[in-house]
Amino acid sequence: MTKAKKKTQEQIDSEPVIRQTTRTLYIVRGHPGSGKSSVGILLAPGACYAADDWFNIQAHHNGTTYAEMWDANLLDEAHRWCRDRVEQAMVCGMPRIAVTNVFRKRAEIGIYRAIAEDRGYRVSVIRCENDFENVHGVPSKRVASIKATMEDA
């Protein structure tokens, strides 16, 4: 049996170092109740964002519930808030970020792809198709409509 030679500090210092340098934005999409939030939290704990979060925060501040706070007329503001949170996480250098919205249309994904590209993040799109409990109370007819109209990424 041969003895392994002990490396000098100079040899150790000159060896290439393998590091995880790829920053990733996970775009997690799917109908209400498909498990988007659960997947996003597993992929990017501490850096998982959704437009629904805005409604939850507003409900908390106003002493109401998500269902009472939700209003289609406020969706643009909720999505703008979500995009701002994702971009801020990128500015802070978070290695893994997840955004968990329905993303029915390719164009909705494209907005996040552009932000990621500008900030040097790679993008991974994940589509959830499970049927878990719909925690936001979206009517089943609406969920079925969303499922039927999801565009391919």
Entry pTM: 0.83
Chain segment 20-62, per-residue pLDDT in tens: 458 999 999 999 999 999 999 999 999 999 999 999 999 999 9
Chain segment 91-113, per-residue pLDDT in tens: 999 999 999 999 999 999 999 99
43 Cβ contact partners less than 8 Å away, ≥ 6 residues apart: 26, 28, 96, 98, 126
pLDDT at residue 1, as a whole number: 54
pLDDT at residue 116, as a whole number: 97
Name the residue ranges covered by the structural domains of the chain. 32-148
Contact (Cβ atoms closer than 8 angstroms) between residue 65 and residue 135 = no
